[in-house]
Amino acid sequence: MTKLLKMMVAEPYRLGLALLVIMSFVGLNAAYLVWVERKGAGRFQRRPGPTEVGYAGLIQPIADAIKLLSKQLILPDGVDATLFRLAPLVVMAPALISLAVVPFSEKLLGRDINLGLLLIFALGSINVMAIMLGGWSSRNKYAIISAARVVSQNVAYEIPTLLVVITMIMVTGSMDLNEIVRQQAGGFWRWNLFRWDVNPLAPVTFLIFFICMLAETNRAPFDMAEAESELVAGAYTEYSGMGFGVFFMAEYANILLGCSVATVLFLGGWQSPVGIFSGVFWFLAKMYFLVFSVIWVRWTFPRTQFYGLLNLSWKILIPVSLFALILTSAMLKIFHRFHSV
Amino acid sequence: MKRAFKEIISGFYSLVIGMRITIGQFFKRTVTVQYPYATLPIPARFRGHIELVRDPETGQPKCYACKLCERACPSDCILVDGAKLEGAKKKSVTVYKLDFTKCSLCGSCVEACRDAAIRYSRDYNLAGFSKEEYIMDLFAKLQAEAQAAGVPPEAPATVRPVKSEPAALPQTQALVPGARQGQTQQELRPTVLAQTQTPLPGARQSQVQQELRPAAPAPRSEPPKMEPVKAAAP
């Protein structure tokens, strides 16, 4: 009876609170990752980056947000109004929902479910579909080109991502993100990144996952969907004000999510690399290191050609990840007969 | 098959090198100049709009309103007028206006000036809101300058505020050192250029020098060397 009461009364509040915390976390991160991105871009090009608004430009994101919020939302003639308005929401929602199952620490997570990984990848491609919706409903040639690109890019990169994830599920024997992290306790040599015994190609798998994450979030060098030098702003061309702002936030939310999942799957989540003092600090440190790497990659490599992008996926990433999958299953079958699957 | 693997590995290695180079740059100091707070030094031979030169002894303008510059100007943008003051040997300039909207900065006026009484200013902050701001009263500007330097103005002048105050910059050298009054520029030029001690960095000047002295190689100043970028590992 008390259990039912708890379920009916306390749980919705807890979930609501979790969602609120995640939303503010994502919002703040999106705002300040833009600042980090601009500062990083500056430093990589030996400029100081934003310096004017506040100390070291720290108030710049707030000024940008106020600007975006105060702008008019323009609905161009001939757009599919419903889809046009829906697209920013659909691109944002999956990232928020997915972050609810990401364990920031052993106790600090929105919802402890044992199919977290499945949930994340079930919702994972919705954001790409939403970009396609936005591009298609804008009735703009650049947006439609961008939408077509997004679809073929997503089809190409979803496959290696999922192959890698299946490999990791076979290695860990679980879809529970918290359980996956718990298995990696005891120092960085226990992380899935270094599970040579089961998956001799573990670091390669991590790299493939990272590359696919870049492609799925439409980040340079795979930002074919936005390609500002070719397609104005790609699928976002017709969006103004906060419509564009939400797309922008969603991009960073998806980067956060991708880096969180990579942290959980490969880098031991909230586990300390030396085996003591595990906690949320380690999770954030690892995640932000990956986020920095994303920025680092963006300001190092030029945008790939579209053929290069597809070739990379179909000719390299998919065969290699498939090989890793087969190798892992063989290793499990031969050497780990009693692995708890 | 072997080649494909080699390609993948060498391609990946090149990506890693790229990442290493950018992270190396990340930790170096910035190279940009934050313009309104800091400026780069202006080159010595910077050619801004013209300005009148003050005689360092009397503090009055060197210009005596001969109007050679006015005549030399291809855009007809200079207006000079002068008057003979009581007891003075020469005329004194009373009006010197430059219509900067028409000026193409060709420098014919400075070349035409016999007494180095006008020179290029080093003023480049020239943005403005109206066309009228660019009808520059150079005489008034000079008088204001003289007043600031503590020299009493010769005649009451209506001082129109000029867009940007000239900063205290080192005096620009007269274009042709050693030019004397009475000789025209045309006569003067070859000898003076031959006498010029410091080699002139511009290509045109070197050409002139070469024409003048075909036997002696013209001293050329070395072009500034770029800092060689550290070559990446092959």
Does A169 fall in a domain?
Answer: yes
Residue A29 domain-assigned (yes or no): no
Whether the complex's predicted ipTM surpasses the cut of 0.90? no
pLDDT at A305: 81
A 280-299 residues inside an 8 A Cβ radius of B: 296-297, 299
Q: Is residue A155 part of a domain?
A: yes
Which residues of chain A have a CB within 8 Å of the CB of B29?
Answer: 46
The residue ranking higher by pLDDT, B158 or A147, is A147
User: Token pair for residue B27?
Assistant: 């930790």
Strand-pair category, B50-52 with B118-120: antiparallel
Which of A40, A51, A300 minimises the CB distance to B19? Answer: A300
Contact A51 B34 (CB under 8 A): yes
Cβ atoms B123, B49 nearer than 8 A: yes
> pLDDT band at B154, cuts 50/70/90?
low
Q: Distances from the Cα of A193 to the Cαs of A292, A305, A333, A338, in angstroms?
A: 19, 30, 20, 22
Report which residue type is found at A323.
F
Would you say A193 and A203 are in contact if contact means Cβ atoms under 8 Å apart?
yes
For A30-37, what is the mean pLDDT?
89
Residue A51 contacts B where some CB pair is shorter than 8 Å = yes
Contact state of B22 with A296 under an 8 Å Cβ cutoff: yes
Report residue A188 as tokens.
């960085």
Q: Which of A15, A54, A50, A69 is nearest to A249 (CA)?
A: A69
Q: Is residue A70 part of a domain?
A: no
A308-337 residues touching B, CB cutoff 8 A = 316
CA A9 to chain centre: 32
* Residue A40 in domain: no
pLDDT band at residue A291 using 50, 70 and 90 as cut-offs: very high
pLDDT bracket for residue A338 (50, 70, 90): low
pLDDT per residue over A218-243, tens digit each?
887 888 777 777 777 777 888 888 88
Domain count, chain A: 1
Decide if A229 is inside a domain: yes
User: What's the confidence (pLDDT) of residue B153?
Assistant: 52
Q: Report residue B49 CA to chain centroid gap.
A: 8
Closest CA to A50 of A61, A41, A38: A38
| B161/chain A closest Cα distance in angstroms | 30
The H or E element containing residue B119 is: strand B118-120
Is A197 inside any structural domain? yes
Contact B32 A47 (CB under 8 A): yes
What average pLDDT is seen over chain A? 84
Closest-CA distance, B27 to chain A, in angstroms, reads 7
pLDDT (0 to 100) of residue B212: 42
Judge whether B108 and B72 are in contact, CB under 8 Å.
yes
Residues 6+ apart with CB under 8 A from B177: B192, B196
CB B106 within 8 A of CB B74: yes
Which tokens go with A197? 């015994």
Query: Which residue do the tokens 């020179």 mark?
Result: B119
Based on its alpha-carbon atoms, the radius of gyration of chain A, rounded to whole angstroms, reads 21
- The four Cα atoms A138, A141, A145, A150 give a dihedral, to 10 degrees, of -10
According to the model, what pLDDT value does residue B189 have? 40
Give the domains, in start order, of chain B with CATH numbers: 50-175 (3.30.70.3270), 176-217 (no CATH)
In a domain, A57, yes or no: no
pLDDT at B151: 61
- Domain extent, residue A264, equals 79-335
% residues pLDDT > 70 (chain A):
98
Which residue did the predictor score with more confidence, B213 or A301? A301
What is residue A209's predicted lDDT score, i.e. its pLDDT? 92
Question: CA–CA separation, B39 vs B53, rounded Å?
Answer: 25
Per the model's pLDDT, the better-predicted residue between A286 and B234 turns out to be: A286
pLDDT at residue B214 is higher than 50: no
| pLDDT the model gives residue A337 | 61
Contact check, Cβ <8 Å, B26/A43 = yes
How do residues B120-144 score in pLDDT, each as one tens digit?
888 888 888 988 888 888 888 888 8
pLDDT band for position B231 (cuts 50, 70, 90): very low
Q: Which amino acid is at A203?
A: P
Between chains, do A46 and B31 touch, taking CB under 8 Å as contact?
A: yes
Name which of A217-231, A285-299, B5-19 the model is least confident about: A217-231
